[in-house]
């Protein structure tokens, strides 16, 4: 058996009910980031590619009478990472859960999807429970507004030792206790007012249970025939481009474009009615979210064209995402982009510090793109000049080249001297 799997099973030895949920989570995570490295520790399971971007961690499960809402989780997914936090700890000020939630809501401009997860039971390998869709920033605002001050930190260690220490001294105390009792296996922050926290969590539960249920079938307004004709003309001129057509505060994609875009956007694939024609597959995104959404399509290696009011709103070329031939500094090393593999999410590079002896290597797509953004527009100039020079040859230039080659082949004979003449 693989050692990583053995360590994982040991990690979930006390949390076997949640293991199927973890399997599902890991399957989806590795499908998106296949080159991730998994590190199993006593206190958490970490996921890394170039950087540490996700982790799974569990504290000791308390009795329902002792901590009734501790099983409720806040899960949110960013463009390059995901977090799963305990709701009870998020409402305690200065905890890891509290600061993480507020940081991404207040200082990040990312388009973040959030869910509240309430596990209830396990049937076979399936974890049963309730999942609620929530507005991430609204949730973060409530956390910031209603959070309760911390009082004590309850810590448990590898040898089974447990202790409660004042919250403001917990870090220093933990360092001392780890030397004697081993790594921390669970950590729970106790608020100043336990009853206030319990009431707050009950209010949260009450709000979630009264959220309107999602409609069983979403109905979209039909696409006017005149608009569809305009779309057809644009699509004929750009057959290999993902055309995003503005309709009803959305940018919509139709047909094969919709089928390609839906999984990249994590969006539903619906049907759009057009009078006199069969329904057309459609997906899309809100117009105010066009920056994040179009970038998701662009970074997958697609040309993206946004059309609004019959005119080009934004034209993104896949070749410009990471321009081949561009020279830029990566980790202080002057490098040249050799090839971009969008499917694998890798970029082939060459270390050109010594131009006579370039050294090939590769980096992740996201990391190289961040270096491209830092470099600015200057790196696009060299590839453009190269393309212009490559396409500059005229008929006259070709004739000159042929004449030079013919003259080189018919050189006048050289007179021999000395012994060579006698031979």
Mean pLDDT of 76-80: 83
Strand, coil or helix: 211: coil
pLDDT at 418: 47
Q: Which two tokens stand for residue 69?
A: 């809402």
Residues above pLDDT 70, as percent of the chain:
83
Cα–Cα distances in Å, from 189 out to 1, 112, 170, 265?
37, 26, 10, 37
The DSSP bridge partners found for residue 118 are: 130
Q: Where are the alpha helices (DSSP H) in 349-380?
A: 365-375
Strand, coil or helix: 293: helix
Q: Does pLDDT of 274 surpass 80?
A: yes
Q: Is-contact 260 291, C-beta < 8 A?
A: no
Q: Does pLDDT of 303 surpass 90?
A: yes
pLDDT tens by residue, 205-219: 888 877 665 444 456
pLDDT tens by residue, 317-375: 988 898 888 888 888 889 999 999 988 889 999 999 888 889 999 999 889 888 888 88
Class level of CATH domain 225-317: alpha beta
Q: Look up the CATH number of domain 322-388.
A: 2.30.30
Domain ranges in the chain are 3-148+194-209, 150-191, 225-317, 322-388
Cα–Cα distance, 295 to 363 (Å, whole number): 19
Residues above pLDDT 90, as percent of the chain:
18
Rounded to two decimals, what is the model's pTM? 0.44
pLDDT tens by residue, 114-128: 889 888 887 777 778
Q: For residue 165, which phi and psi values (nearest 5 degrees)?
A: -130, 155
pLDDT tens by residue, 126-180: 778 888 888 888 888 888 888 899 988 888 888 778 888 888 887 788 888 888 7
Cα–Cα distances in Å, from 149 out to 73, 87, 169, 189?
20, 15, 15, 10
pLDDT tens by residue, 385-405: 555 554 455 555 656 676 667
Q: Does pLDDT of 235 surpass 80?
A: yes
pLDDT at 31: 86
Neighbours of 223 (CB within 10 A): 22
Strands (E) in 296-413, as ranges, are 303-308, 311-316, 327-330, 333-341, 346-351, 359-364
Q: Which two tokens stand for residue 24?
A: 């599902």
Neighbours of 407 (CB within 10 A): 9
Mean pLDDT of 185-213: 82
3-state secondary structure the chain: CCHHHHHHHHHCCCCHHHHHHHHHHHHHHHHHCCCCEEEECCCEEEEECCCEEEEEECCCCCCCCCCCCCCCEEEEEECCEEEEEEHHHHCECCCHHHHHHHHHHHCCCCCCEEEEEEEEEEECCEEEEEEEEECHHHHHHHHHHHCECEEEEEEEECCCCEEEEEHHHHHHHHHHHHHHHCCEEEEEEEECCHHHHHHHHHHHHHHHHCCCCCCCCCCCCCCCHHHHHHHHHHHHHCCCEEEEEEECCEEEEEHHHHHHHHHHHCCCCEEEEECCEEEEEEEEEEHHHHHHHHHHHHCCCCEEEEEECCEEEEEECHHHCCCCCCEEEECCEEEEEEEEECCCCEEEEEECCCCCCCEEEEEEHHHHHHHHHHHHHHHHHHHHHHHHHHCCCCHHHHHHHHHHHHHHHCCCCCCCCCHHHHC
Give the distance from CA 356 to its chain's centroid. 37
Order of strands, edge to edge, in the sheet holding 52-57?
Answer: 37-40, 44-48, 52-57
Q: Does pLDDT of 189 surpass 80?
A: yes
Reported confidence tier of residue 304, pLDDT bands at 50, 70, 90: very high
Reported confidence tier of residue 61, pLDDT bands at 50, 70, 90: very low
Neighbours of 213 (CB within 10 A): 5
N residues, the chain: 423
Q: Is-contact 171 138, C-beta < 8 A?
A: no
pLDDT at 64: 41
Mean pLDDT of the chain: 81
């Amino acid at each position: 058996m693989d050692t990583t799997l053995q360590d994982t099973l040991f990690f979930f030895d006390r949390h076997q009910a949640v293991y199927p949920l973890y399997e599902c989570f890991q399957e989806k995570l590795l499908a998106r980031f296949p080159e991730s490295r998994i590190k199993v520790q006593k206190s958490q399971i970490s996921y890394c590619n170039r950087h540490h971007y996700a982790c799974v961690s569990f504290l000791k499960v308390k009795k329902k009478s002792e901590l009734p809402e501790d099983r409720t989780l806040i899960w949110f997914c960013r463009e390059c990472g995901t977090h799963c936090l305990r709701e009870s700890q998020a409402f305690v000020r200065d905890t890891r859960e509290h600061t993480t939630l507020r940081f991404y809501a207040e200082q990040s401009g990312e388009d973040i999807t959030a869910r509240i997860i309430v596990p209830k039971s396990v049937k076979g390998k399936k974890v049963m429970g309730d999942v609620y869709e929530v507005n991430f920033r609204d949730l973060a605002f409530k956390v910031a507004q209603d959070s309760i001050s911390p009082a004590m930190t309850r810590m448990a260690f590898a040898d089974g030792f447990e202790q409660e220490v004042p919250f403001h001294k917990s870090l220093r105390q933990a360092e001392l206790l780890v030397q004697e009792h081993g790594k921390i296996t669970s950590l729970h922050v106790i608020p100043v007012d336990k009853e206030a926290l319990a009431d707050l969590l009950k209010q949260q539960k009450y709000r979630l249970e009264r959220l309107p249920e999602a409609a069983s079938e979403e109905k979209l307004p039909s696409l006017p025939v005149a608009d569809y004709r305009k779309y057809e003309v644009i699509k004929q001129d750009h057959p290999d481009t993902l055309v995003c057509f503005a309709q009803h505060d959305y940018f919509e994609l139709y047909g094969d474009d919709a089928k390609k875009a839906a999984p990249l956007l994590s969006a539903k694939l619906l049907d759009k009615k057009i009078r006199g024609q069969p329904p057309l597959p459609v997906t899309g995104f809100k117009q105010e979210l066009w920056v994040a959404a179009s970038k998701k399509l662009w970074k997958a290696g697609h040309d993206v064209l946004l059309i609004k009011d019959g005119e080009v709103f934004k034209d993104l070329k896949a070749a410009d995402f990471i321009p081949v031939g561009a020279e830029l500094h990566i980790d202080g090393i002057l490098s040249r982009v050799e090839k971009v593999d969008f499917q694998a999410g890798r970029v082939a590079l060459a270390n050109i510090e010594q131009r006579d002896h370039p050294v090939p290597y590769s980096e992740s797509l996201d990391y190289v793109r961040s270096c491209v953004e830092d470099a600015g527009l200057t790196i696009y100039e060299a590839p453009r000049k190269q393309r212009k020079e490559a396409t500059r040859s005229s008929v006259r230039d070709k004739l000159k080249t042929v004449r030079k080659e013919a003259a080189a082949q018919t050189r006048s004979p050289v007179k021999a001297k000395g012994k060579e003449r006698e031979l």
